[in-house]
Amino acid sequence: MPSRTRPIDRVAAAAARCSKEGATYGKCIVADYNNVHKDKCLTEFLKLKECYLVSIRHGSN
């Protein structure tokens, strides 16, 4: 059996630790989802990504 964790599992775990930022980003998109354009919620996404990058680095150690 493969004992190593798959990359997708690490991504899922890291994303789950950023649920607060994820919710903020989701709310920003869903608030007006008929009118989404590129980088509509850039600041919220950057916060989410920053948290995710920190989280995935900690998760791998």
Task: Rule CB under 8 A: choose which of 3, 4, 37, 61 binds other proteins.
Answer: 37
Supply the minimum distance, in Å, between the C-beta of residue 18 and other proteins: 8
User: Rounded distance, CA 59 to CA 17, Å?
Assistant: 10
61 alpha carbon, distance to own chain's centre: 19
> Is 55 near other proteins (CB under 8 A)?
no
Q: What Cα–Cα distance (Å) separates residue 25 from each residue in 47, 48, 54?
A: 9, 7, 17
Site string for other proteins, 7-36 (x = CB under 8 A): -xx-xx--xx--x-xxx-xxx-xx--x--x
